[in-house]
Chains A and B, each alone.
Chain A
Amino acid sequence: MLKHLLSDDLPRSRFLTVLLVLILFGLAFAPFITSGARPLNTAATICVYIVLVASYDLLLGYTGIVSFAHTMFFGIGAYGIGLGLASAGPFWWIAFSGLLCALLLTILLALIVGLFALRVRAIFYAMITLAVASSFAVLASQLSDLTGGEDGKTFSVPALLSPSFHLFENEVFGRIIDGKVITYYLVFGVALMLFLFLLRVVNSPFGRVLQAIRENEFRAEALGYQTIYYRIAANCLAALVAALAGALMALWLRYVGPKTMLGFEVMTDILLIVVIGGMGTMYGAVVGAALFMLAQNYLKTLMLQASSALVGVPFLAEALHPDRWMLWLGVMFVVSVYCFPAGIVGKLRST
């Protein structure tokens, strides 16, 4: 059963299994083992990022395509649901039709960009997606009538998901089951399903072809596979999943804005997570996203202490300032590309 659910792609490392089970249980019972808004927020962000990063891994790790447009699709999904709810009111059918429009736009854009740029080499695709994505971000922040500009838009979600909704009169295991908790479980459930779906995709015959393309495109072509179609299909699939992740994020935050949804920072976050977690392993996305988000939320506190302890030291105090945490992650990123190209998961599997 479990083997079937995981598409026969087991963690293959005892420590990794323990880690994954811990993360799964942590996320599944997050509303009950923690209290307050912040840990729940971290947990929801982890769920969304797992899906986002896993879909990016389908491109980078499994097919060998470097794309910088992943945030664009993430943003389209978020804006689709967000702008729909903001303009027409909190109804389910609005949310779904907004999502549908976003998915259509996503597949159209992914197809166009793919047809246009995937015919040539990886490096070309990376540059073109970077240009397209940054133009899209500028467009979203400038067309303020439609998108709310730099400030973005806040909106209300359907009644079942809004914080004022209470499912039961009493607390359950010390937590009131309000709309926020229901939203969390919606995010968690969809994220889990999308992750298992991606796991199935990469272990399907289709996924094997993608890996063949990554290893040796010429040979894959010689075996009779039209590699261009497979690459475009992978691109569209990854874009669709990213858009769904964006929709989940928007639903959770009840807000869409260019910085959180389309900013280049999101793209670098995805890159860092996928490489540190482990390229070409779906589990890398889980481990990477969980560690990254925990670090983002809790490492900063640690760095603040270190920084204030070293206040007299000229360079270190500045370098350990909480806002500079990306410096250390960047260094870790470069080191892991050199020394552990398979990331944390690859390291765990090899020992």
Chain B
Amino acid sequence: MHPSATTATPVTATAPDALPQVPHDIAPLLLVPLLALLMLPLVGSLPIWITLTVAGLAMGMMIFIMASGLTLIFGLMGVLNFGHGAFVSVGAFTATLVFLPLRGWLEVDSLLLNLGVLGLAILLAMLVTGILGWAFERVIIQPVYGQHLKQILITTGGMIVAEQLINVIWGAEQIPLPLPASFRGAFLLGDAAIEKYRLIAVIVGLTVFAVMFLVLNRTKIGLLIRAGVENREMVEALGYRIRRLFVLVFAAGSALAGLGGVMWGLYKETLTAAMGGETMVMIFIVIIIGGLGSVGGCFIGSLLMALVVNYAGFLAPKLALVSNILLMITVLLWRPAGLYPVAQH
């Protein structure tokens, strides 16, 4: 225990009564279970419902991993990186540098070995995208702070260049990326088939969410980031260099996009340079639904969107094509600034 804690006890004992409590806004939290339960009678069969729900959760987790960085970056500095998708592709393609030479190890049906290779690939991908993100922020974003129009243009330009560079380095053909042997197939839970890889995706997603949650809520840096999202000037006025913090967040967000890219690439089992751009649309919808800048909202938004896509794909395949947009419109009609609006934006 910290030595000063004992002396501070009398003060902290009365403090909770003195401070007005922020009311907990739990309505959005209930959306995901509510949606899942509502769909059960519509789907009609429990095993199929379980399969669909797990598939939706897995997809949602992967989208969350990719989108969480972007929403934080926007929340902190009001920078919207249209080139975020490039980090997704770069992450996935970097992972092939590990996957292709170690292809033999991936064919061995040993969970530990496969996880080791996956871990190595993720580590490399996150390292590369993190460094790239840092460089991107320094070179591309910094000159256009506060100029939204130019930011959109410049980051879109960055995206085009990055996509083409991937084609130059890795060739223009799409690269097949088979799942490691022990991730293939599904196991049965009663009558419901659950694909193993989706379970892994859920676990990775939950881990990322938990780590982010802890960092944001239990560390000094997290406190500063949250404070910066709420009120940038105040944090600067208190003597913290928010730009330095921002570079850190930008690099971390890019690394997360890289991680998401590896997971997404394995999920799709093929890589194309355009994959980042394709995921970008989903990422935008998710962060709009969640409320720009809100990590919690982004998490709920990802799960909601992925579940809706999966249920709609089963119930009304034609509707699934526009289900994203319909969901976004519905949410925005309910809460025009997203599920958890951030004050500053």
Closest to A332 in B: B157
Tell me whether B149 and A64 are in contact (CB under 8 A): yes
**Interface membership of chain A positions 63-83, coded 1 if the CB is closer than 8 angstroms to chain B and 0 otherwise:** 010100000000000000000
Of the candidates B148, B154, B156, B292, the one whose C-beta lies within 8 Å of that of A268 is B156
State the Cβ distance, B294 to closest chain A Cβ, in Å. Answer: 14
Tell me whether B321 and A139 are in contact (CB under 8 A): yes
Q: What B residues does A97 contact at CB under 8 A?
A: none
Tell me whether B154 and A338 are in contact (CB under 8 A): yes
Q: What A residues does B209 contact at CB under 8 A?
A: none
- A17 near B: Cβ within 8 Å? no
Closest to A264 in B: B277
Tell me whether A138 and B321 are in contact (CB under 8 A): yes
User: What is the CA–CA distance of A331 and B165 in the complex, to the nearest angstrom?
Assistant: 11
Of the candidates A131, A134, A272, A323, the one whose C-beta lies within 8 Å of that of B167 is A323
Closest to B345 in A: A121
State the Cβ distance, B153 to closest chain A Cβ, in Å. Answer: 5
Q: What B residues does A326 contact at CB under 8 A?
A: 160, 164
User: What is the CA–CA distance of A132 and B328 in the complex, to the nearest angstrom?
Assistant: 10
In A309-337, which residues have CB < 8 Å from any B CB?
315, 318-319, 321, 323-324, 326-327, 329-331, 333-334, 337
- A344 near B: Cβ within 8 Å? no
- A251 near B: Cβ within 8 Å? no
**Interface membership of chain B positions 257-270, coded 1 if the CB is closer than 8 angstroms to chain A and 0 otherwise:** 00000000000000
**Interface membership of chain A positions 274-316, coded 1 if the CB is closer than 8 angstroms to chain B and 0 otherwise:** 0100000000000000000000000000000000000000010
User: What is the CA–CA distance of A343 and B328 in the complex, to the nearest angstrom?
Assistant: 36
**Interface membership of chain B positions 150-182, coded 1 if the CB is closer than 8 angstroms to chain A and 0 otherwise:** 101110111011001101110010000000000
Tell me whether B153 and A135 are in contact (CB under 8 A): no
- B105 near A: Cβ within 8 Å? no
Q: What B residues does A330 contact at CB under 8 A?
A: 157, 160-161, 164
- B185 near A: Cβ within 8 Å? no
Tell me whether A271 and B156 are in contact (CB under 8 A): yes
SS class, residues of chain B in contact with chain A: helix
**Interface membership of chain B positions 274-304, coded 1 if the CB is closer than 8 angstroms to chain A and 0 otherwise:** 0001001100110110001000000000000
Q: What B residues does A139 contact at CB under 8 A?
A: 321-322
- B146 near A: Cβ within 8 Å? no
Q: What A residues does B292 contact at CB under 8 A?
A: 124
State the Cβ distance, B290 to closest chain A Cβ, in Å. Answer: 12
In B291-345, which residues have CB < 8 Å from any A CB?
292, 318, 321-322, 324-325, 328-329, 332
- A127 near B: Cβ within 8 Å? yes
State the Cβ distance, A171 to closest chain B Cβ, in Å. Answer: 43
Q: What A residues does B164 contact at CB under 8 A?
A: 324, 326-327, 330
Q: What B residues does A331 contact at CB under 8 A?
A: 161
- A126 near B: Cβ within 8 Å? yes
Known: A334-B154, A334-B157. A127 touches B167 (CB 8 A): no
Q: What B residues does A132 contact at CB under 8 A?
A: 325
**Is the interface on chain A under 10, 10 to 19, 20 to 34, or 35 or more residues?**
35 or more
Closest to B337 in A: A120
- A123 near B: Cβ within 8 Å? yes
Known: A128-B288, A139-B322, A324-B168. A337 touches B280 (CB 8 A): no
Tell me whether B161 and A123 are in contact (CB under 8 A): no
Closest to A142 in B: B321
Task: Show 8 A/B contacts (Cβ-Cβ < 8 Å), sorted by A.
Answer: A116-B329, A121-B148, A128-B288, A139-B321, A143-B318, A271-B156, A330-B161, A337-B150
User: What is the CA–CA distance of A269 and B111 in the complex, to the nearest angstrom?
Assistant: 46
- B140 near A: Cβ within 8 Å? yes
Known: A64-B149, A334-B140, A337-B153. A315 touches B168 (CB 8 A): yes
Question: Chain B interface (Cβ within 8 Å of chain A)?
Answer: 80, 82, 140, 143, 148-150, 152-154, 156-158, 160-161, 164-165, 167-169, 172, 277, 280-281, 284-285, 287-288, 292, 318, 321-322, 324-325, 328-329, 332
Tell me whether B148 and A123 are in contact (CB under 8 A): yes
Pair count A-B, CB < 8 A:
95
- A52 near B: Cβ within 8 Å? no
- A33 near B: Cβ within 8 Å? no
Q: What A residues does B152 contact at CB under 8 A?
A: 66, 122-123, 126
- A157 near B: Cβ within 8 Å? no
In A135-155, which residues have CB < 8 Å from any B CB?
135, 138-139, 142-143
State the Cβ distance, A119 to closest chain B Cβ, in Å. Answer: 9
State the Cβ distance, B313 to closest chain A Cβ, in Å. Answer: 12
Known: A139-B322, A327-B164. A337 touches B285 (CB 8 A): no
Additional 18 contacts, C-beta under 8 A, given A268-B156, A315-B168, A326-B160: A116-B329, A122-B148, A122-B149, A123-B152, A124-B292, A126-B80, A131-B325, A135-B324, A271-B153, A275-B153, A324-B164, A324-B167, A327-B160, A330-B161, A334-B140, A334-B154, A338-B154, A341-B150
User: What is the CA–CA distance of A131 and B278 in the complex, to the nearest angstrom?
Assistant: 10
Which of A131, A138, A326 has most B Cβ within 10 Å? A131
Tell me whether B322 and A135 are in contact (CB under 8 A): yes
State the Cβ distance, A234 to closest chain B Cβ, in Å. Answer: 15
User: What is the CA–CA distance of A323 and B332 in the complex, to the nearest angstrom?
Assistant: 41
Known: A123-B80, A124-B288, A130-B284. A327 touches B161 (CB 8 A): yes
Closest to B164 in A: A327
State the Cβ distance, B319 to closest chain A Cβ, in Å. Answer: 11
What are the nearest 9 A-B pairs in CB distance? A327-B164, A330-B160, A330-B161, A334-B157, A127-B284, A333-B157, A134-B281, A318-B168, A135-B325
User: What is the CA–CA distance of A19 and B345 in the complex, to the nearest angstrom?
Assistant: 45
User: What is the CA–CA distance of A83 and B150 in the complex, to the nearest angstrom?
Assistant: 38
Tell me whether B154 and A327 are in contact (CB under 8 A): no
Q: What A residues does B328 contact at CB under 8 A?
A: 128, 131
Closest to A325 in B: B164
User: What is the CA–CA distance of A32 and B149 in the complex, to the nearest angstrom?
Assistant: 42
State the Cβ distance, A193 to closest chain B Cβ, in Å. Answer: 30
Q: What B residues does A122 contact at CB under 8 A?
A: 148-149, 152
In A92-139, which residues have CB < 8 Å from any B CB?
116, 121-124, 126-128, 130-132, 134-135, 138-139
